Structure 1
Amino acid sequence: MASTVRVPQEERTRAMRARLLEATVELLIERGYAGTTTTLVSERAGVSRGAQLHHFPTKAALVVAAVEHLTQVRGDELARAAADVPRGVRRTRAVLEMLADHFTSPVFTAALELWVAARTDPELLAAVAPLEQRVGREVHRLTVELLGVDESQPGRRELIQATLDLARGLGLANTISDDRRRRSRILDQWAITLADALAEPTPGASA
């Protein structure tokens, strides 16, 4: 008779939490925040309501944990994508494409649902705001590093912030309809504008 292999409790708990988080993200993308209920999450994850409530006592705790989980996964993917960004004349355009991919990903759609809901939900806002600040700082840091920008020079930080705001705006537009063709034209032009602006000498610098 084959022996039964017992899965350690810690491993079972980790797997159950992962199913809950993945189910939550799927529902946020499919149904939005209002349509994502703890009952639907437990059903999709195949987890009992009691077990779900033990780990995530409120809907806010569950959805924030889910987006944080996916943000970490996406952050790892972003870091890997950054390592593959080519050098040379096409580097600026490649960095913009990487950012556009990030802001049109499922994690952005899920996060957007939380931003809208958090506007009128103090508990959710208290949890979401620090997460978004952390993510924003990391994406900003990575962009500066990839483009080799010296933010101590006047106007450079604002150029990076404008670039990230542009990428977020394009991501928002993409939630309404497939915006790839228009987005590509905009990124082509912004790559030229940004590269030229970053190449300009700092005012007052010696020639």
Structure 2
Amino acid sequence: MGAIAVPGVAPGRPVRAPKQDRSRATRQRLLEAAVACLAEYGWAGSTVTVVAERAGVSRGAAQHHFRTREDLFTAAVEYVTEARSRELREVLEREYVPGTCRTRLVVGALVDLHTGQVFRAALHLWVAAASEATLRPRVTALEARIGREVHRMAVELLGVDESRPGVRETVQGLLDMARGLGLANLLTDDRVRRERVVEHWAGVLGEVLGSGG
């Protein structure tokens, strides 16, 4: 089969992606590399240079997209958290079997959101913000925004009515529990105990919220 002719490009010459697409791809690689570095090395070991090397771009390219280190890491945690939330929503829609307990699936997915790489990276960012005045207001605002979104997603996925007394507090209790399980998993693999807790909480929520599916 002969080569496909591209208007304006000489035959045999490689076709490059549009500049805007290349810029978007570079930005995405930097964001994902930043979260991976933060989870692996912590705040102290995650410099812009380290992230740029992991992403396979120059330090100058990294600073073109993110003026400061704080810009890079707060954007990275927000971006990957949102991407992970979308993935979990897709998994739920794909794996849910009508007639089975949807609550168990939702609780497990929300706990998974707090036990992976993104949660570990976010935790390093929170700890750094506790002692760095320039980082604290940005992380506080980011955490509030992510917290609202995750809570809204939990209410939607559980299919509960938040106007009912106690429902909001119960959902928030679920998310606080998920965060606690994430913390317990940082040093040792807590999967076995976590599964038992998830199973129990799914039953409790089914009774309290009337969301047994």
Fold agreement, TM-score > 0.5: yes
Q: Structure 1 residue 12 and structure 2 residue 32: aligned?
A: no
Q: How big is each residue's C-alpha offset from its partner over 1:60-110, in whole Å with a ceiling of 9 and x where there is no partner?
A: 111112112212211210221332434545222221111111111211111
Q: Which residue among 40, 49, 52 is the counterpart of 2:50? A: 40
CA contact (8 A) 1:86 1:94 kept: no
Residues 1-207 of structure 1: pairs in structure 2 closer than 5 A? 2-84=12-94, 85-88=96-99, 90-199=101-210
Q: How big is each residue's C-alpha offset from its partner over 1:150-175, in whole Å with a ceiling of 9 and x where there is no partner?
A: 22222121111111111111111111
TM-score (ref. length: structure 2): 0.85
Cα-Cα RMSD: 2.0
Q: How big is each residue's C-alpha offset from its partner over 1:16-45, in whole Å with a ceiling of 9 and x where there is no partner?
A: 222222221111111111110112112222
Where structure 1 has 5 or more consecutive residues not aligned to the other structure, the ranges are 200-207
How many residues align structurally?
A: 200
Query: What letter is aligned with 2:55?
Result: A
TM-score (ref. length: structure 1): 0.87
Shift of 1:130: 2.4
Where structure 2 has 5 or more consecutive residues not aligned to the other structure, the ranges are 1-10
1:150 and 1:19 mapped to 2: Cα distance? 39
Query: What letter is aligned with 2:118?
Result: V
What fraction of aligned residue pairs are identical, expressed as a percent?
Answer: 53
Shift of 1:146: 2.5
**Secondary structure at the residue paired with 1:2?**
coil
2:97 and 2:166 mapped to 1: Cα distance? 25
